[in-house]
Amino acid sequence: MGLSARQRLLLAFAAIHAAMFAYDLHHPERFLRADRAEERLQSVHSFIDALHGGGDLASFFAAHGVPGDWLPQALLYLAGGQFFVVAAQIALVLASISCVYRIGRAIGLGEGGALASAALYGALPHTLVFPHQLASEAIFVPLVVFGFAGLAGFRTGLSFGIATLIRPVTLLWPPVHLAFFPGLRWKRLLVFVAAALAPMVAWTGFIYLQTGEVSMGRSGHDLGHNLYARAQRMAVSLPPEERPRVRPLGYTTMNLREYLGFVARHPGAAAAHSARDFATLGVKSGVERLTIDYLDLFPASRALQDADSGWRAQVEREGLGKAMLGLWRTQSGLLAASGSAALLFVAFMGLALWGSFTRNRERLLLATFVLYVFFTAQAVDAAQSRHRAPAEFALCLLAVAGWQRLRARTQIPVLTEEVAFR
């Protein structure tokens, strides 16, 4: 009995990641090209030292933010080192590709559409590169996909609950998810809610016992630090006297009330910054993860990734036209590659938008999750394409749905599913 089309697809991506794994062996430094990877590795080593040295592990956990940001990879690293982490993350991404296929079948895309969605998701830059880096997305994104692969229940709830301990962006999603399944029996409803809330409740309870604060833990990248940095970035366009006062290092946090007050006083600056965020999420393909971070095709361009002086900061200070003109003069090859990928991504987003206009409940759920991810990215200092990664599986499914809808309306001739995916 031969392999199914889905199995052949998974084998193809397994071969791609195996080749990338061989590349990793020759370029181990690429492992640390993810956002905050060096900081994460320091937490991993500190945890291992505390574990072996018999230190106060409770105090260590309480001082290092949400545990999922580093703990799963710390345990994998402890078990087998850097390349064991990569191998485990490859297994997770292959499982998530299989789940995208299952979701595609469940929402009525058919065999060919489900395979196309899974292939598209697997081929995206973030899906390809994150498993080979010390990136929280390498574990967070597959967990989100797993959460959508079944009906609301224990597995779905637990996937979202554990994901929240990696990146709290999913904290408010479970009640939205439930709204799309109004006919759930109360037992399944209770199981879902308990599984979704238990990890967060347990962790916040632990933090309260350790620090007396009701929170998910403080770190240099928590919500307060992000809101403070976001306000400072918004203020670039304001007169100096209207900018929020720069606080001493170590006190660079802002609570939600302070942040909303700043936004209310400066709605224009806030709207402009949000517009740049949505443009980044909707247009920037993320191909730089391959060209700069992983393959190092443009070594001189790595400085453009810097939060304080990179491309985004240049756009904020100089405007889009002037910043892009300056980049063209110095980084024309990179800008041509990124611009071409952006055009393809805009077409991809257009198809996803077209696929969102439907009465299909499951597809509406996916579209709502995309909006949820885009809007919750407003909680970071400046959105990057990687912040869209949790929603990219949904965008792939919606884009294929959009293509099928467009094909049905225009009668575009295509290969049959049996031939196209052989």
- pLDDT value at position 330? 85
**pLDDT class for 418, splitting at 50, 70, 90?**
very low
Q: How far is CA 227 from CA 168, 247, 250, 254, 309, in A?
A: 14, 13, 14, 6, 19
- For 373-398, how does the pLDDT look when each residue is reduced to its tens digit (9 = 90+)? 999 999 999 999 999 999 999 999 99
pTM, rounded to two decimals: 0.92
- pLDDT value at position 419? 33
CA nearest neighbour of 160 among 199, 205, 188, 121 = 199
**pLDDT class for 250, splitting at 50, 70, 90?**
confident
Residue located via tokens 């990569």: 86
Percent of residues, the chain, with pLDDT higher than 70: 96
- pLDDT value at position 246? 83
For residues 398-403, average pLDDT: 97
**292 has pLDDT over 90:** yes
What is the distance between the alpha carbons of residues 155 and 74, in angstroms, rounded to a whole number? 24
- For 299-321, how does the pLDDT look when each residue is reduced to its tens digit (9 = 90+)? 877 777 776 677 888 888 788 88
- For 11-29, how does the pLDDT look when each residue is reduced to its tens digit (9 = 90+)? 999 999 999 999 999 999 9
What is the distance between the alpha carbons of residues 369 and 274, in angstroms, rounded to a whole number? 18
